[in-house]
Amino acid sequence: MIEKEPSEVPVGRADFVHQWPASRVVFGPGKISVAASEAARFGTRFAVIHDPTAQSAADRVASDARGGVCARIGEVAQHVPVQAVTEAVAIVREARAEVLICIGGGSATGLAKGVARELALPLVAVPTTYAGSEMTSIWGHTEGGKKTTGRAETVRPRTVVYDPELTLDLPPAISVTSGVNAIAHCVEAMYAPESSPMTRVAAAEGIRSMSRALPGILDEPRDVAVRGFALRGAWLSGWSLEVSTTGLHHKLCHILGGLLDLPHSPLHTVLLPYAVAHIAPAAEAETRIVLESLGLTGPVTDAGGLIWERHRLLGAPASLAEIGMREADVERTIAEASAALADRPLPPCPIGASGLRDVILTAFKGDRPAA
């Protein structure tokens, strides 16, 4: 009989279904130079959607496209308002575009996905942050204070061009919250009932890549090699998110983001330790891998607190109040979250109304999660 060491205890279900995502990935410094030619694989008339900070990259693509850009949209909004999608669809349709190119962070990708969903156009993504959404078939939009998400094969980019040089000017503080947002994708992939052995391997490596890169970014923001390692983590985080499902953390972020219009990646950063603190007792083996991948040592029962401490070392925001939530918002947020999530099936464990109240109140104050 073979005795198993604790670290060799199998993680996850023995039965699973794994479907390989179909996106093509082109990765490396200077690869912005191939974005136009990658788009040309799908058509000759390009609509470029980019956020304002990606202006120069969009100019480069337009130049390389040699007159192939028939429309440009250079304004995006977080959480993808429905009205913004409607206006963008009208512009792209009128221009008779055949291919969409999005350049920027998650908001640019999200807007482009909204257009792709409506017009069934192929999409080429050039991310400039660590959102990870460029690797998924997940779309989302907000209307009337509610965020709606879903999956559609038409919104998954056909090609993703990762160029770490495009992230050199991403401010360190934003890099940290964007990176933690990517780590959150990997953490939830560990717990998801659909996760396969391949998913968990990719998620753990995504956490390791990003967690090792973030301190380097704070020290040397313009180090291309460090930025490349972070972008590698973002790629793996998006891949992990695509082949799994979201749980308490992401669902709570969607509720607060839609209701209060809080900034996306700081919101994920603040809530992650509190979600992990709730989940850890029900998923000890998976949580141990998360801690090891982050380079943290300590009891699984204190995982939320250990992650909270690490965020403090990175200078990340500590509380919902710090990122714009008002005390007057607390009770209606608790009510909204309880109506949507309390006692619903939410692997690896449900959360009741009192648990949601504790999570939201503690996160609002920014207190260290209790062990």
pLDDT tens profile 119-172? 999 999 999 999 999 999 999 999 998 989 999 999 999 999 999 999 999 999
Residue closest to 39 by CA, chosen among 189, 161, 131 = 161
Query: Given pLDDT bands bounded at 50, 70 and 90, which one contains residue 17?
Result: confident
Residue 348, preceding peptide bond in cis (omega within 30° of 0): yes
Instruction: For residues 340-362, give the mean pLDDT.
Output: 95
Cα(261)–Cα(77) distance, integer angstroms: 10
Instruction: For residues 266-270, give the mean pLDDT.
Output: 98
- The continuous run of DSSP H or E covering 106 comes out as helix 106-119
Cα(174)–Cα(179) distance, integer angstroms: 8
What is the pLDDT, as a whole number, of residue 11? Answer: 61
Instruction: For residues 273-298, give the mean pLDDT.
Output: 97
Asked whether 92 and 115 are in contact (CB, 8 A), the reply is yes
Q: At what angle do helices 353-365 and 248-260 cross, to 10 degrees?
A: 60
- The continuous run of DSSP H or E covering 254 comes out as helix 248-260
What is the pLDDT, as a whole number, of residue 82? Answer: 97
Query: Given pLDDT bands bounded at 50, 70 and 90, which one contains residue 3?
Result: very low
What is the pLDDT, as a whole number, of residue 194? Answer: 83
What is the pLDDT, as a whole number, of residue 206? Answer: 98
Cα(147)–Cα(151) distance, integer angstroms: 14
Give percent above pLDDT 90 in the chain: 89
| 5-14, 107-116, 213-222, 256-265: range with lowest mean pLDDT | 5-14
